Structure 1
Amino acid sequence: MEIAAPLRLRVDRDALTANWQALDRLSGAAACGAAVKANGYGLGAVLVARTLALAGCRDFFVSNWAEAVALAPLGLTVSVLHGLRAEDVAVARAGIARPVLGTAEQVARWRESGGGACDVMVDTGMNRLGVSVEAVREGLLDGLAVETLLSHLACADEDVPMNARQQAAFASLAGRVVARRMSLANSAGIALGADYHFDLTRPGLALYGGVPRADMAGLLRQVAYPEAQILQRRRVPAGETVGYNATWTAPVDTEVATLNLGYADGYRRALSGRGAARAADGVRLPVLGRVSMDMVAIDVSARPDLAEGDWLAMDYDLAAASAVSGVSQYELLTGLGQRFGRQSVE
């Protein structure tokens, strides 16, 4: 029996498309790909990839092979950022995606399995994934069919000298590897300018309405809209408290709605007393007291028409929610849970 979810996550496909198009323009002569790992940053990888493919995106990036398998029916060009474990060889040989090889062992494993088109990650200073610049210069990749040589910026959201050092280290490999393309810039890296674009950019957060750098704020539109149903409406008398640990006391008689939403759904406890919902006419309805596991209380005094069973959209502009909660935009987005029924709108 299918039961309608009391939570829904509206995904604005027009906004998603507009964000990719804006990033594509900002990428200049470079192609603009899309990171759709973590289930499309929580919005649904198939929905996101299909939408962006229709917009013109041709390169997609996931973290692991299970994510690649989920996208396989779409017939897209997919790269698997976490490379090639021994357990992944069979699915990689099926040709549904390219491995992004990140260690000498992975390079050897790919060669031994029969080789073929692959991508390679080079570490230019982040010290996370990738083969060393020196190993590439010494011939580690010689004879390998490298489609895209990648690296990743550690601090692109800041104006720091490390950005230029990484760019220079990566640029020094041009011509040292027989690779069709080079790719360095993530969302924030795109805004650093043409020297960082190379042949292919790989935005993630910015596609989904996150703002990785302040100078990109006017460029991007909100994509994700969490919505929850009202479980109950009540009047809380002046002097009474709401929620765990009684952190909020009603200064006057207050109309309070309890929503079917909590931190188990990714609506973070850090938004206690700081977050808000929005009525259909845009009126802000503040969160009262502590966010609990499955419920949150909202002041609905300004909206006497709202009742049990009605829906409210949470105020979930990522940059603003991050600023008030101290939680990163990435966590706010990817943490949205599986209890949401995901709906696309245009």
Structure 2
Amino acid sequence: MSNAGETVLEIDLKALEHNYQYLKTKIKSNTKFLGVVKAFAYGSDSVAIAKKLEALGADYLAVAYTSEGVALREAGIKMPILVLHPQQISFATMIEKSLEPSLYSLAIFTAFIETANKLGESEYPIHLKFNTGLNRIGFEKKDIDLIVDHLKQNNAIALRSIFSHLAASEDLEEKAFTLRQIHRFEEISKDLETKLGYMPLRHLLNTSGIINYANAQYDMVRSGIGIYGFGNEASEDKKLRPVASLKTIISQIHTIEAKDTVGYNRAFTAEKTTVTATLPLGHADGLGRQYGNKVGQVLIHGKLAPIIGNVCMDMVMIDITDIPCKEGDEVIVFGKENTADWLATSANTISYELLTGISQRVKRIYIE
């Protein structure tokens, strides 16, 4: 599909389906699948992705914040939605929209119980996040006695799942650390089950965990970057298909002479006669300044063109001296071949940052 003369983010829903089905082959048929659609579905379109995952039969969605879940409910998404990092101020809204909180500290746990009681709830589903080594948010094993007391004393809530998050599941040099995390989660699970009298759903694995530690899949797995086409290692990337492609066009072509400069702060100086193209895309669209000055490259007619000078807010300049092209021609910033991971690596960052940074002013178009 052509970008029809503007900067667009092309979202390939067939690629999403391929990735979902591929990741499902890594787990047992009865293991539930949670698709992570936070941050506008990793910079794409959370509503379109959520609707597709719902149609594919995924069991859960996850967002980071309540407002993201509200947007999905208002778009008609009916499936269960886990809110990974809710704040106390949004608890009443969560309940109103049937969003399920991840509770990660005693303060946030008791505050949610108070809200649920105040609103007259009965067995409202909650999830408990345990810290097993990432040291970001989460309960500790020592909190279990108090957690169990609260659960037994309050019928306003019902424990739907417990989970944790692996810190380095993509790095096999950190295998010993990951196995320790899995062991800690196992200990927490058993202690909670003994004291509670039943075992809730358990989930631990992220995308790299699904690929590298499938024996720890428990009752559900969570995939974010994987469903968008990246497996955090080259061999897996080949089996997945990038969902998002960022495309733009050439607005204007210039021929400049030796010693002429390009862009703000005159950051590029031509060593010889040089042909440049200006693109309608800049750091306000998500192409950060770190990609300037020949760090990043874009694709025109199958050939790579380096970004020259500083990336501007709404424009970027590239060197097309050796590439036959004309104004209006399509430029691929990242896509199926020169992927977001490839471009991000050139600037010493990760695909997650590049993808989630794509501005909402970039038009989204869809391939079904």
Corresponding residue for 1:337? 359
Q: How does 1:5-154 map to 2 (within 5 A)?
A: 6-29=6-29, 30-72=31-73, 73-85=76-88, 87-112=89-114, 113-114=116-117, 115-136=123-144, 139-140=148-149, 142-143=151-152, 145-154=158-167
The question of 1:322 aligning with 2:348 is answered no
Comparing 218-227 and 294-303, the one that deviates more? 294-303
Counterpart selection for 2:168 from 155, 158, 162: 155
Q: Call closer, same or farther: CA 1:81–1:179 in 2, change over 3 Å.
A: farther
Comparing 74-83 and 209-218, the one that deviates more? 209-218
Partner secondary structure for residue 99 of structure 1? strand
Give, in angstroms, the shift of residue 296 of structure 1.
0.8
Partner secondary structure for residue 188 of structure 1? helix
The question of 1:291 aligning with 2:311 is answered yes
**Alpha-carbon deviations, 1:1-45, whole Å to 9, x = none?**
xxx994211111111221122122223342221110111111111
Q: Call closer, same or farther: CA 1:36–1:56 in 2, change over 3 Å.
A: same
Q: Call closer, same or farther: CA 1:248–1:74 in 2, change over 3 Å.
A: same
Comparing 153-162 and 335-344, the one that deviates more? 153-162
Q: Call closer, same or farther: CA 1:5–1:339 in 2, change over 3 Å.
A: farther
Q: Distance in 2 between matches of 1:315 and 1:67?
A: 26
Contact 2:5 2:249 (8 Å CA) reproduced = no
Contact 2:5 2:248 (8 Å CA) reproduced = no
Q: Distance in 1 between matches of 2:243 and 2:254?
A: 32
Q: Call closer, same or farther: CA 1:330–1:140 in 2, change over 3 Å.
A: farther
Contact 1:31 1:201 (8 Å CA) reproduced = yes
Q: Structure 1: 5+ residue runs without aligned partners?
A: none
Contact 1:33 1:58 (8 Å CA) reproduced = yes
One-letter code of the match for 1:300? I
Comparing 29-38 and 60-69, the one that deviates more? 29-38
Q: Call closer, same or farther: CA 1:104–1:298 in 2, change over 3 Å.
A: same
**Alpha-carbon deviations, 1:304-323, whole Å to 9, x = none?**
4421x443221351221122
Q: Distance in 1 between matches of 2:27 and 2:43?
A: 25
Identity %: 30
Contact 1:5 1:340 (8 Å CA) reproduced = no
TM superposition outliers: structure 1 runs of 4+ over 4 Å: none
Q: Distance in 2 between matches of 1:100 and 1:246?
A: 50
Contact 2:229 2:237 (8 Å CA) reproduced = no
Contact 2:103 2:109 (8 Å CA) reproduced = yes
Contact 2:247 2:334 (8 Å CA) reproduced = no
Give, in angstroms, the shift of residue 299 of structure 1.
2.3
Q: Distance in 1 between matches of 2:221 and 2:135?
A: 20
Give, in angstroms, the shift of residue 344 of structure 1.
1.1
**Alpha-carbon deviations, 1:85-122, whole Å to 9, x = none?**
1x223222225211111111232233332352111111
Give, in angstroms, the shift of residue 238 of structure 1.
3.3
Q: TM-score, normalised by structure 2?
A: 0.85
**Alpha-carbon deviations, 1:173-206, whole Å to 9, x = none?**
1434534310001111112222321111111112
Corresponding residue for 1:182? 202
Corresponding residue for 1:276? 297
Q: Call closer, same or farther: CA 1:297–1:95 in 2, change over 3 Å.
A: closer
Q: Distance in 1 between matches of 2:141 and 2:111?
A: 20
One-letter code of the match for 2:62? F
Partner secondary structure for residue 251 of structure 2? strand
Corresponding residue for 2:120? none
Counterpart selection for 2:184 from 161, 165, 169: 169
Q: Call closer, same or farther: CA 1:117–1:206 in 2, change over 3 Å.
A: same
Q: How does 1:214-253 map to 2 (within 5 A)?
A: 214-253=234-273
Q: Call closer, same or farther: CA 1:140–1:327 in 2, change over 3 Å.
A: farther
Q: Call closer, same or farther: CA 1:179–1:342 in 2, change over 3 Å.
A: farther
Q: Structure 2: 5+ residue runs without aligned partners?
A: 118-122
Q: TM-score, normalised by structure 1?
A: 0.90
Q: Distance in 2 between matches of 1:100 and 1:136?
A: 16
Q: Distance in 2 between matches of 1:100 and 1:127?
A: 16
Partner secondary structure for residue 250 of structure 2? strand
**Alpha-carbon deviations, 1:140-198, whole Å to 9, x = none?**
56435111111111121222122111101111214345343100011111122223211
Contact 2:70 2:97 (8 Å CA) reproduced = no
Give, in angstroms, the shift of residue 215 of structure 1.
4.5
Q: Distance in 2 between matches of 1:242 and 1:39?
A: 34
